[in-house]
A and B are shown apart, each in its own frame.
Chain A
Amino acid sequence: KAGVTQTPRYLIKTRGQQVTLSCSPISGHRSVSWYQQTPGQGLQFLFEYFSETQRNKGNFPGRFSGRQFSNSRSEMNVSTLELGDSALYLCASSSDEGYEQYFGPGTRLTVT
């Protein structure tokens, strides 16, 4: 089985712009979660989608949003980018039983 894939792998944006990141889960997995990793805050949970519905949400401002499509692929959007949004964004997928989570390679976003 192919693993979790994320595109793009690297991205450079300017303050005030918006960005969309994509995540394709492992085939058959319907749960997709997003995490932000920064040197200062570590790994923090953004949100989780299951069967096209947001099931859990972390403590991030409304500029961070996401969605999930019927094929379980998920997108994450960040509007009005700030310098502090520079981070590695990781997505993870898990099966319906919700046991082990598998992570993608991440998208490294730099905001200048």
Chain B
Amino acid sequence: GIQVEQSPPDLILQEGANSTLRCNFSDSVNNLQWFHQNPWGQLINLFYIPSGTKQNGRLSATTVATERYSLLYISSSQTTDSGVYFCAVERTGAGNQFYFGTGTSLTVIP
């Protein structure tokens, strides 16, 4: 399979601070998505970003496929941003099979 590493594993921020989450992967991919898992377990789609840069409000993401990494930026963090962030990739030619990273657990304190 494909190895997906996320860093840092844990992050504690003061409300209003900015952060960068990183996802490294070991093979070429044709799909990369960032998810936020809410306290009830549902994975909320943040970005579909196999390459390039996207922004959605306070969140943005960049994937450099040739260097096999992706970054998720959270600006002006809020307590509601707390939770676990996952990066998931699909290896090129492997069909709809996600390989997930181990996640970054983010806690935003007021």
**A interface residues, Cβ below 8 angstroms from B:** 31, 33, 35, 37, 42-45, 48, 50, 55-56, 58, 88, 90, 92, 94, 98-106, 108
Contact = CB atoms under 8 A, between A and B. Distances in A.
A58 B97 contact: yes
B31 interface: yes
A45 B42 contact: no
Contacts, number: 62
A48 B29 CA distance: 18
B95 A101 contact: no
Contact of A55 (B35, B41, B48, B95): B95
Contacts of A37: 41
Nearest to B40: A105
Q: How large is the interface on B (under 10, 10 to 19, 20 to 34, 35 or more residues)?
A: 20 to 34
Contacts of A99: 31, 48
Contact of B42 (A44, A100, A101, A103): A103
Contact of A56 (B42, B43, B95, B103): B95
Contact of A106 (B41, B86, B99): B41
B64 to A, nearest CB: 19
Given A43-B100, A100-B48, A56 B41 contact: no
Nearest to A102: B45
18 contacts: A33-B98, A43-B88, A45-B97, A45-B99, A48-B96, A55-B95, A56-B95, A56-B97, A99-B31, A100-B31, A100-B45, A101-B88, A103-B35, A103-B42, A103-B45, A105-B40, A106-B40, A108-B41
B103 A103 contact: no
Nearest to A37: B41
Interface in B23-60: 31, 33, 35, 40-43, 45, 48
A48 B99 CA distance: 13
The 3 closest A-B pairs by CB, nearest first: A43-B100, A103-B43, A100-B48
B41 A88 contact: yes
Q: Which of A31, A33, A45, A48 has the most chain B CB within a 10 Å cutoff?
A: A45
